[in-house]
Amino acid sequence: MSAIKLTKREKSWIVYDVGNSAFVLLASTLIPIYFSAIADPGSSVVVAWGYATTVASLLLALLMPFLGSIADLKGNKKRLLVGSIGTGAVLLACMGIPGNAMVFLVMYVVATIMLNASLVFYDAFLIDATDSEDRYDEVSSQGYAWGYIGSCVPFIICLVLVLFGENFGLGQLDAIRISFVITAAWWVVFSVPVLKNVHQTHYKERTEHMFRDALVGLWATAKRIFADKRVFMFMLAFFFYIDGVHTIITMSTSYGTDLGIGSTQLVLALLVTQFVAFPSAIAYGRLAGKFGTKRMLLIAIFAYFCITLFAAFFLRSATEFWVLAVCVGLFQGGIQALSRSEFGKLIPKEHANEYYGFFDIFGKYATVLGTLLVSVFTQITGNSSIGVLSIAVLFIIGFVLMTKVPEK
């Protein structure tokens, strides 16, 4: 399938992935390192980080369906997007202020909730950014692809500060604090095009009793989801396989730290993931047009199952972590982009935010299960490899359920 020519709206929508992905990359690399430095000596980074991520995901899962229902009303989608970006960026910029680990974790949890809330509204804007469902896979994949490569720009700047800041009298922790501010500014700047050029074209009319009607609409959407076998089975499969994906993204640096791999090696390896993911995500979108979205999703789920086994049984050194990083990069963008675009094809457009709110429950609430599994099994056994192995069963269940999703 050849590349499509992107419109101004589509390009503006894609660019937001460049902005928010910088925070995602920072959260999986430097933020855990910073937390481990200010945490009490002897505490387990994997356990504490896992529980914090679990709390963030659970709160987001509870909030998003209701906010999504409100966002479907005329003019609300962009207002909520602005609010979540603004709140999250301010908290991110200020995360270096507290020296207490618990206060830092609270700020991180709230900032993460704001980031992921903005992603729900952003994902729902896909149907407003492009007019044809045939373009969803390509546009969604371009978003993830440019997000991966674009996020490397501020991250490399931050990495240079962390690695070489001592030459300018800058300690590692001070360099990371500055990185928080740089990443927040990057996030805000690259949110401008989508806020300026993409407008809500699918919506429900505003009503006098907005909150009451939002709850009523939410219940109606839930019933429609359960009644539509294709949507329900897809979301159920998504619940399990995306859990594993998000858990691997979230916990990889903490896991590597527990294995004794140096922070520099961890960060550089994850940077390689971004560069590998750029062409891979674009290729995945085009392959979906040729072989079908469902088939390409099944391939990615199986690949992640193999990646999990490798991490649990063979990952012991920095070299093996590099191999893992490359493998994740090959499939990470594809599985996320195609899940987002395929869901957009299945749902009624005027209820997009409500549906994506439920979609986010299946994605973010599933992350509660994944991070919780890793934390609990690591804490019980004292072996983080066993914690990682527990993720594999989620890919097995997701794969089986995806095979049962009815064809279009």
Residue 66 falls inside a structural domain: yes
pLDDT at site 76: 79
State how far the alpha carbon of 182 is from the alpha carbons of 26, 52, 143, 156, 352, in Å.
11, 23, 21, 11, 32
What's the domain range around 194? Answer: 8-403
Residue 12 falls inside a structural domain: yes
Q: Dig out the tokens for 31 from the structure.
A: 């933020």
pLDDT at site 238: 93
pLDDT at site 120: 80
pLDDT at site 1: 43
Residue 119 falls inside a structural domain: yes
Residue 3 falls inside a structural domain: no
Residue 320 falls inside a structural domain: yes
Amino acid making up residue 133: E
Task: Mention every residue, 6+ apart, whose C-beta is less than 8 A from residue 309.
Answer: 389, 392
Global confidence as pTM: 0.75
pLDDT at site 203: 64
Name the domain count of the chain: 1
Residue 2 falls inside a structural domain: no
Task: Mention every residue, 6+ apart, whose C-beta is less than 8 A from residue 393.
Answer: none
pLDDT at site 194: 93
Residue 105 falls inside a structural domain: yes
Of residues 270, 274, 253, the one with CA closest to residue 152 = 274
CA dist., res. 294 & res. 241, Å (int): 13
Residue 122 falls inside a structural domain: yes
CATH of the domain at 301: 1.20.1250.20
Residues paired with residue 204 on neighbouring β-strands, in sequence order: 73
CA dist., res. 155 & res. 187, Å (int): 12
Of residues 262, 30, 276, 272, the one with CA closest to residue 159 = 30
pLDDT at site 92: 96
Residue found under tokens 């903490």: 254
Residues of the chain short of pLDDT 70, as ranges, are 1-3, 41-46, 48-49, 202-214, 217-218, 250, 253, 362-368, 407-408
